[in-house]
Amino acid sequence: MELRVMKYFLAVAEEGNITKAADRLHLTQPTLSRQLRELEEELGAPLFVRGKRRIALTEAGVLFKARAEEIMALEKRTVYEFSHLGETIAGDVYVGSGETEAVSDVISALAPVLQQYRDIHLHLLSGNGEQSLDYLERGLLDFALLCRSQPPEDYNYIQLPHRDTWGLIMRKDNPLAAKPGIRAVDLKKEPLIVSAQLTSRNEIQRWMGDYSALTVAATYNLAYNASFLVEQGLGSMITFEGLVPCGTDFRPNLVFRPFIPALFSGNFIIWKKGRLLSKAAELLKERMESCFS
């Protein structure tokens, strides 16, 4: 499978029309159509539903589009890095992170380096821990910032000083808002809005006990978006303190109460063992080590 053909496929997927894609690629329409048919034969699955004026992606086409975009991004990054070998320190550095105020610590540490080396470009990608680990394995990230009690095995890591405090965001007219803190028993009859990753977090499972006894009203990836569900009275959200500005002019009807006994998650910057980092990534790593080690 050639990168050239992947570029053809992505152009057609973006245009939704063979003729427009052929013009964009400076190819004849028959040539482009033949390349697509050969790609489908190679993959053993149809990638397009062909209509008279527009074509749409099949389920296999949607999957292939996601994979092709990842491969093309990696190809672009590889070409860029090799084109800058031997030059002054420059390049793109990719960091994946979930929602945590520890990001502020990382940016504060890196800011002087980024201000000094203007040709280093930092890219922050939001996502949960599983996504970040997957992207690290595939070479799409240099580093990941994970919120957990222990760092994952088989990765280099730097532990950050910030710890995230678990608790419950609710409307201020919720009876639980009168409590100084929330105990596991308080959650038994409360409709909850939880992170899609929550069931895989050992520290939460130990604190809650029987997770299956809870009523999950909704799940989320981004706490900020899920807070609108809380505002509308659809449930209370289990999350970290500080991710949503509760009790402010912007969110006056929301309050945060920490768990009792207190529950914290550590924060770790991790990267793959044995992977050679670019000069730019190595410089940022050394800066984080000097700040946090």
Percent of the residues in the chain that have a pLDDT greater than 70, as a whole number? 95
Give residue 201's pLDDT: 63
CB 99 within 8 A of CB 243: yes
pLDDT at 239 over 90: yes
Enter the pTM of the model: 0.69
104 Cβ contact list (under 8 Å, min separation 6): 162
In whole angstroms, what is the distance from residue 49 CA to residue 75 CA?
A: 28
In whole angstroms, what is the distance from residue 194 CA to residue 220 CA?
A: 6
In whole angstroms, what is the distance from residue 246 CA to residue 239 CA?
A: 12
Question: Which tens digits make up the pLDDT trace of 36-82?
Answer: 999 999 999 999 988 877 888 999 999 999 999 988 888 887 887 67
Q: Which domains does the chain have, with CATH numbers?
A: 3-69 (1.10.10.10), 82-162+266-292 (3.40.190.10), 165-264 (3.40.190.10)
Lowest mean pLDDT among 19-23, 137-141, 213-217: 213-217
Percent of the residues in the chain that have a pLDDT greater than 90, as a whole number? 56
59 C-beta neighbours (distance < 10 Å), count: 10
